[in-house]
Amino acid sequence: MKKWLLGLSALVFVSGCTSMPEEGSEGLTVSAAASLQDALAEIEEQFEAETDIDVTFNYGGSGSLRQQISQGAPVDLFISAAENHFDDLVSDGVINESDSVRLIGNELVLIVPRDDFDIATFEDLTEAESLSIGTPETVPAGQYSQEVFEELGIWEELEEQIVFAKDVRQVLTYVESGNVDAGVVYHSDALAGDQLKIAATADEEWHSPIIYPAGILSDAEHPEDAAAFLDYLQSDEAMAIFEELGFKRLN
């Protein structure tokens, strides 16, 4: 079992980097948390039809995306799945606070394969042979998961059983393929899975608030297009898509 876990962890390490946007790419470039992929695909289609503005997305763990931006990746708009990675860029002057919003929220859920009836609570994870969460240092869902486990007093007991993933979508893959017994992802991601079910939802008091901030970079190549897209993300049309796919309005 340990050899399998080490091999899988190595695979995650090798494949855990997101590709950086190409220098001088045409159109609006948005770096966004991987959990937003399905929602933004629908919103993009509507936005481009209404505005004729082309949007290119770069998805990944929010921490990895923050590192790319800090290293000079040509990004116009950043949408993070956690405020800490976003606030780092605001503090560094990379994003102006006046050009940012707290966009949407989410919930954290425990997922298991569809035919699993043994794991029904987060505490049941202590009986699992393996589970997957995002790498806490770079994946906000992993950070929130660790907070939940620490709040419940089971983090140290679970550490050796955890297979860390590069983002929430990789956690979904591990659970659906049966490579792990369970995983922790956002509610919106769980709804996108076909071969899994939600076993439990984390109490909001067990972890930091799950907030997705969005902001325009100070050196954006397309600031006007970025502002137009950021406004559209807050529209009733976009919010309807977010809510349908499991996200939460903040107000």
For the stretch 27-38, pLDDT in tens is 899 999 999 999
Instruction: Give the max Cα distance, the chain.
Output: 53
For 151, counting Cβ atoms within 10 Å of its Cβ (0-12 exposed, 13-18 middle, 19+ buried), the class is middle
Do residue 100 and residue 19 come from a single domain? yes
Whether 19 is in a domain gets the answer yes
Cβ(241)–Cβ(66) under 8 Å? no
d(CA 148, CA 155) in angstroms, rounded, equals 8
Q: Let me know whether 131 and 186 are in one domain.
A: yes
Does residue 199 share a domain with residue 118? Answer: yes
Tell me, yes or no, whether 183 and 120 share the same domain: yes
Q: Tell whether 82 and 137 lie within a shared domain.
A: no
200 and 112 co-located in one domain: yes
Query: In this structure, is residue 152 part of a structural domain?
Result: yes
Beta carbons within 8 Å of 146's beta carbon, 6+ residues apart: 133, 136, 155
Is 181 within a domain?
yes
Asked if the structure places residue 69 within a domain, the reply is yes
Tell whether 185 and 239 lie within a shared domain. no
The CATH number for 56's domain is: 3.40.190.10
| Phi/psi at 37 (5° precision) | -55, -50
Q: Which domain holds residue 18?
A: 11-105+211-244
pLDDT for res 2: 33
Distance, CA of 109 to chain centre = 13
The total number of structural domains in the chain stands at 2
Considering the domain boundaries, does residue 2 fall inside one? Answer: no
| List of residues 6+ apart from 119 with CB closer than 8 A | 110, 112, 125, 127, 128, 181, 182, 199
Does residue 159 lie within any of the structural domains? Answer: yes
**Do both 95 and 157 map to the same domain?**
no
Say yes or no: 101 and 215 in one domain.
Answer: yes
The label of the residue with tokens 């950086």 reads 20
From start to end of the chain, where are the E strands? 28-33, 55-60, 77-79, 95-105, 108-113, 131-134, 162-165, 182-186, 196-201, 211-217
Q: Please tell me the predicted confidence (pLDDT) of residue 173.
A: 94
Q: What is the pLDDT of residue 22?
A: 47
Is residue 5 domain-resident?
no
**Whole-number pLDDT of residue 26:** 66
Same domain, 88 and 116: no
- 155 and 165 assigned to the same domain: yes
Q: Is residue 40 part of a domain?
A: yes
- Same domain? 47 vs 132: no
Q: How many CB atoms are closer than 10 A to CB 174?
A: 21
Low-confidence ranges of the chain (pLDDT < 50): 1-25
User: Whose structure tokens read 């992993």?
Assistant: 142
pLDDT at 192: 84
